[in-house]
Chain A
Amino acid sequence: MEFTFDLNTIWFFLIGILLVGYAILDGFDLGVGALHLFVKDDLDRRIMLNSIGPVWDGNEVWLVTGGGALFAAFPHVYATVFSGFYTALMMLLFMLIFRAVAIEFRSKRPMKWWRQMWDVAFSVASIFIAFLAGVAIANLITGVPLGPDKEYIGTFWTMVNPYTVLVGITTVALFMMHGAIYGVMKTEGELQKKLRSWVNNTIKFFIISYLITTLATLIYYPHMIQHFKEFPALFVLAVLNMLAIANIPREISKGRDFLAFLSSCASIAALLSLFAFGIFPNFVLASNNPEYSLNIYNAASSQKTLNIMLIIAMSGIPFVLAYTISIYWIFRGKVKLNNMSY
């Protein structure tokens, strides 16, 4: 494969970075949501909710910006994927709506049925969003049927098969683990003890589903490791990934929760990098005819736009990082409820 470090390649990786940012940040609040119903006490549920309260909305902005960047840099990918995956996308949107309003509405009334209703909406939506994200990623690995005019020609059920479901479950497991670790950092006392034990369970759940996924990928979708054969240096990523995952239980057992969380972040970043190097230079592989695939050239905007967008991104990203870091710094430490809390 030819590898040229041009604007198209830069934008492929910039979109990847937005996706990594989204997965790391929204990943833990989706994970907290996925675990939410396992916490029974109302006060504990409030602590869980308020641990993500100030940040979940900002985390979701990574997805929104990623969508906008995809639209601008690779309009054909945006158009083909969003219209082709119409029904799945609509379900994702409905879940995002339910989740957002559940967080906001839950605390507004004290009735038990009211809170239970929004707790279920919040938790089910969190799990579903994580699952759909995984299924979407998996479809980019397996490829989907595309016409010569870049249009999706499959149906909703084309996207659902054992492999895509498996990746969906793995994503849920990953975010549950990530969310449990985040929860340990933000809580204290009995609730923290409970979460700490969940970290160990969710790690097992994740490692098992991750191993099956990896095996399935190697057996059924060997094109994903093509680049790794050509550039053995990339295997470093796979090794880093393993080390990061293995480091999580070690840090947790030593009570170094923040380092465990960083390890979890690193493993998410490594996993998505493996995925990105695996599909490069394609965005959407055409399973029926590789020539119809959408890649970083035939799906891209003009060089001028990619250049303008790069200037926009470079001038905006320092600010984005500055806000993100300040907000997490301001809200560091254990959750304390007050009269403005959820």
Chain B
Amino acid sequence: MDVEILSRIQFAFTIAFHYIYPPLSIGIAIILVIMEGMYLKTKDKFFENMTKFWVKVFALTFAIGVATGIVMEFEFGTNWATYSRFVGDVFGSALAAEGIFAFFLESGFLAVLVFGWDKVGPKMHFFSTIMVSLGSMFSAVWIVVANSWQQTPAGFHVVGEGINARAEITDFWAMVFNPSSVDRLLHVLSGCWLAGAFLIISVSAYYLLRDRHIRFAKASIKIALVVVMIASLFQLFTGHRSAVGVHENQPAKLAAMEAVFDDQTNAPLYLFGWVDENNQKVNFGIAVPGMLSYLIGFDTNTKVTGLNSFKEEDRPPVNIVFQAYHLMVAIGFALIGISLLGIFFWWRGTLFKQRWMLWIFVFSVLLPQIANQIGWITAEVGRQPWIVYGLLRTSEGLSKAVEAGQVMFSLILFMLIYLGLFILFIYLLNEKIKHGPENVDSIPSEIGHPKA
């Protein structure tokens, strides 16, 4: 294998693994704010102990997020040095802003959130929880801005030629608010809220099925259900906005997402299918005629540019993007279904008697995780063969000083270390769940029946 494929595998592997954790942190953090807010409002110790339990889960995910996140910042330089030289003027400033505006905020107040319960008053502690939550979202802001600039570059000009060419900022705000930033940011954030909230739903449903920590579990599920209902519906809106943006700014990606080969109006929307890239057709597919054109322009006459309108060397892989995208959309609808069903049973007062529903909740934790991963696969593989869309090819972004053997060595080590990390994470999370929250079962309440 050559340096290019090895470096791409390494980046894909390390970012995919990293991306298990920040969405959990972002999602859990916002729920911590709600829980601790309820503690401040009701002065009921129950909510404080509830918050404390989820803070421990949060701290575990956060630690692995930090450990694997620092790798990402270094990898631009180690494996993609030519890319770094090309984009540093633009992309680097977003990354530096992330450090200054987000990481310091997050890591500083994290200390108070985790260790400061008896060092500061309840209001100051609540303020810290809010700051950690904001900090985690600010970091999403800057990293999505940076990535969106790779998708839809704006606010720059290219200076120099050949190996000395590089992008320089002409308008900072145009770079920050490039055509895809806002839509993609909202899409990413609600994906994060879903990931965190469904973890809480899953663990709590498990407690209910095992008849443990009843009041704790019920209260946690209710809070998280409200979050997932809002987030899953919001995802429909942001997903739609993102797809329209892809149509406008990255037509080759949209064509791959829906396997459109020839320019057409009245383009169909596939529910599923298997793309035969050589013969340019979709097998075993079911499609809604005209729906794609309608969705992106609210008019079936909207023209969709097909892949054949692009030079062969400018086309992304089609089937991977198609499958990832369709599975993501399917999961998105499944999550809406699960949230609405949960809310419906809650409204009817029978939610906690539906054991099958609770079992669905237990496994639902996997769905947003999968959707987040394949959503990013759609975005990143769909951008290929470009590392910066239309400006720099992935194959041109590599480090010239790095050899295949070195990358092979680091890739194997990353795989071994991350496998170990993942096993340890699952083991420790499981231990934490088995141990359960402290002092939540002895506090009497009208919400649930306390257990001895």
Contact = CB atoms under 8 A, between A and B. Distances in A.
Interface of A: 50, 53-55, 57-58, 60-61, 63-65, 67-69, 71-76, 78-84, 86-87, 89-90, 93-94, 96-97, 100-101, 103-105, 108-109, 149-153, 301-302, 304-305, 308-309, 312-313, 316-317, 319-320, 323-324, 326-327, 330-331, 338-341
26 contacts: A58-B111, A61-B104, A64-B73, A65-B99, A67-B99, A72-B89, A72-B96, A73-B92, A75-B84, A75-B88, A78-B76, A86-B78, A87-B409, A89-B74, A100-B63, A101-B421, A108-B432, A301-B88, A302-B89, A302-B169, A305-B92, A312-B93, A320-B100, A327-B108, A331-B111, A339-B438
Contact of B99 (A69, A78, A104): A69
B413 interface: yes
A301 B116 contact: no
B313 interface: no
B104 A90 contact: no
Contacts of B77: 67, 71, 78-79, 81-83, 89
Interface string B73-95: 11011110110110111111101
A319 B84 CA distance: 28
Given A71-B77, A83-B78, A330-B119, A94 B93 contact: no
Given A101-B67, A340-B115, 17 more contacts: A57-B111, A61-B103, A65-B104, A69-B96, A75-B89, A75-B92, A79-B81, A82-B84, A90-B78, A93-B74, A105-B424, A109-B431, A151-B400, A316-B100, A319-B105, A331-B111, A340-B56
Interface in B36-91: 52, 55-56, 59-60, 63-64, 66-68, 70-71, 73-74, 76-79, 81-82, 84-85, 87-91
Interface in B395-452: 399-402, 406, 409-410, 413, 417, 421, 424, 428, 431-432, 438
Contacts of B63: 57, 100-101, 103-104
B117 interface: yes
Contacts, number: 233
A324 B104 CA distance: 8
Given A83-B77, A87-B406, A327 B112 contact: yes
A58 B108 CA distance: 6
A137 B327 CA distance: 48
Determine chain A's interface SS by DSSP, over half rule.
helix
Closest 7 CB pairs of A and B: A75-B88, A82-B77, A72-B92, A65-B99, A54-B111, A316-B100, A83-B399
Most buried by B among A57, A309, A316: A57
B96 A323 contact: no
B424 A308 contact: no
B193 interface: no
Contacts of B409: 87, 90
Contact of B172 (A57, A58, A64, A308): A308
Contact of A308 (B115, B119, B169, B438): B169
Nearest to B432: A108
Interface string B201-235: 00000000000000000000000000000000000
Contacts of A54: 111-112, 114-116
Contacts of A323: 104-105, 108-109
A97 B96 contact: no
Contacts of B76: 71, 78, 82
B276 to A, nearest CB: 39
A103 B111 CA distance: 14
B104 A58 contact: yes
B143 to A, nearest CB: 11
A74 B438 CA distance: 50
A100 B96 contact: no
B344 interface: no
Contact of B101 (A60, A83, A316, A340): A316
A64 B70 contact: yes
A107 to B, nearest CB: 11
A330 B56 CA distance: 20
A81 B59 CA distance: 33
B169 A305 contact: yes
B4 interface: no
Contacts of B60: 104
Nearest to A92: B74
B96 A68 contact: yes
B97 interface: yes
Nearest to A80: B81
Contacts of B166: 75
Contacts of A64: 70, 73, 99, 103
B120 interface: yes
Contacts of A153: 401
A237 to B, nearest CB: 27
Contacts of B169: 302, 304-305, 308
Most buried by B among A71, A326, A331: A71
B400 to A, nearest CB: 5
B84 A71 contact: yes
A77 to B, nearest CB: 9
B450 to A, nearest CB: 21
Contact of A89 (B78, B91, B112, B400): B78
A301 B103 contact: no
B401 to A, nearest CB: 5
Interface in B126-165: 159, 163
A331 B421 CA distance: 30
A34 to B, nearest CB: 19
B280 interface: no
